[in-house]
Structure 1
Amino acid sequence: MRIHRLYTDQPLEPGRETSLGDGPAHYLGRVLRATRGQSVVLFNGDGHDYPADVIRLSKTEVVLEVRSRLPATAESCLKITVVQAVSRGERMDRTLQKCTELGAAAFQPVWTERTEVKLADRKLKKRMRHWRGVVISACEQSGRAVVPSVLEPVGLPAWLDAATPAKRLVLSTDSECPISRLEAQGRIELAVGPEGGFSEAELDRMRASGVLSVGMGPRILR
């Protein structure tokens, strides 16, 4: 039987009880139809899994007892920040989901010349909560116990001007340097363009800022 994994923002400690918030409690009690004594795995982003048992259920609350603390085994030694041009609805969600499953450490959304999405302050805050929810769901599904951070979007020039020790890369179909040639170590920031790709002016500025252009083959990935 599959053991379900659930994220909580509560501190977790073996031998102690924890109460789930409305979202996880609804999912566990109403969607999964959990019963008393059922086992689940909790995580809160600290890098550990916490096997736990359901001890009390009601319409508004689920209380579990944490049994133990286990170190996470699904994290990559390569710390990649995906610098993703903000894209429309499901495309952005799919990027966050799949990159989380593949082991991305963080996401830095950026505004570009060809970004078609415009988000005012209120809509941006709502969208960021949604993006974080997508990342958490991907962690639950993929077995990750560290939740990648989703940073507030910035303009591409602001990202380029920010100091970083990371190696910076940009995906380009015109690059003659396959990404497979690079040594896989340390921190990497990988820039991915919008639906129409980065403009030539943006690519020129990235190259001038020391961003290395790399390719993943001759085909354009959606």
Structure 2
Amino acid sequence: MARAKHVPRVFVAQDLAEGHTLTLPDDKRHHLATVLRLAPGDAVVLFNGDGAEYISTLVAADRKRAEARIDQRTTPRRESPLEITLLQAVARGDRMDFALGKAVELGVTAIQPVFTARGQVRLDGARLAKKHSHWQRVVESAAEQSGRLVCPTLAEASELSPLIESPPEADRLLMLAPEAIAGLSAQTPATRIALLVGPEAGLSNEEIEHAVTAGWQPLTLGPRVLRTETAGMAALAALQTVWGDLAG
């Protein structure tokens, strides 16, 4: 028996409505027509973050243009009841890509890259702008692959200190710290969470003290020391299991 053909999902920052035909951005055209070799008549699923996805049909797909006709709007339940903003210390190369991609798969609402005292990556100007564009593609790709109905917002990378003092709106400010005593089981449930994940070498003592003074709660994930890209993934999975939608 033949396998059902994979239907690609595409994030577009455009208004979507049944019956409309839209021209897809060139990077999406390239992926669909050149990489996946789709042709007119093939199905695609579009989403733009409005909480729905749009079953569509390609009516044009070549080296110059891709157009999709929107056939049906659906609203599957795939988004977590938790609103999680991840403050992720900027890591080197693939480690940062991994951390961002897995965060999207695990349901974060927003991502704030941060530069920390012990972080080994420092970027500014054109290099930072180029890296941000790359991270945005990583986030979009992960949202497409994982069936998200929204594409998490990706903020411009910032120094950590001002964000400790003026954090994202949240009911609970959590900071991963290997030396912490309390784990997630000691916390009462919350629906709006800010989660701070430090760099490979960990947050500095000064950053931890500053955060605690500002109301951030240190959180341990157990007796083992995790890499920065693993720590965020483990914490998000734990949050979604005990307070979110991973428990079923």
TM-score by structure 2 length? Answer: 0.85
Aligned to 1:181: 186
Determine whether 1:80 maps to 2:84: yes
Query: Which of 114, 124, 129 lines up with 1:125 in the alignment?
Result: 129
TM-score by structure 1 length? Answer: 0.95
Cα distance in 1, alignment partners of residues 200 and 32 from structure 2: 37
Cα distance in 2, alignment partners of residues 10 and 163 from structure 1: 30
Q: Identify the range of structure 1 (41-50 vs 172-181) with the bigger mean alpha-carbon deviation.
A: 172-181
Cα distance in 1, alignment partners of residues 144 and 214 from structure 2: 37
Cα distance in 2, alignment partners of residues 149 and 38 from structure 1: 29
Q: Relative to structure 1, is the Cα distance of residues 163 and 136 closer, same or farther in structure 2, using a 3 angstrom cutoff?
A: closer
Aligned to 2:216: 211
Amino acid at match of 2:27: G
Determine whether 1:140 maps to 2:144: yes
Cα distance in 1, alignment partners of residues 61 and 39 from structure 2: 8
1:36 is displaced (CA, Å) by 1.9
Deviations 1:84-143 (A, max 9, x none): 111111111111000100001111111111111111211111111111110000001100
Determine whether 1:199 maps to 2:204: yes
- Counting only pairs closer than 5 Å after superposition, residues 1-222 of structure 1 correspond to structure 2 as 1=4, 2-162=6-166, 164-166=168-170, 167-222=172-227
Query: Secondary structure, in 3 states, of the residue corresponding to 2:41?
Result: coil
Deviations 1:26-76 (A, max 9, x none): 111111111221111011222210000111223211111101111242111
Cα distance in 1, alignment partners of residues 144 and 169 from structure 2: 30
Q: Identify the range of structure 1 (56-65 vs 75-84) with the bigger mean alpha-carbon deviation.
A: 56-65
Cα distance in 2, alignment partners of residues 84 and 163 from structure 1: 13
Query: Secondary structure, in 3 states, of the residue corresponding to 2:72?
Result: coil
Q: Relative to structure 1, is the Cα distance of residues 163 and 94 closer, same or farther in structure 2, using a 3 angstrom cutoff?
A: closer
Q: Percent identity?
A: 38
Cα distance in 2, alignment partners of residues 145 and 39 from structure 1: 18
Cα distance in 2, alignment partners of residues 75 and 56 from structure 1: 31
Query: Secondary structure, in 3 states, of the residue corresponding to 1:68?
Result: strand
Unmatched runs of 5 consecutive residues or more in structure 2: 228-248
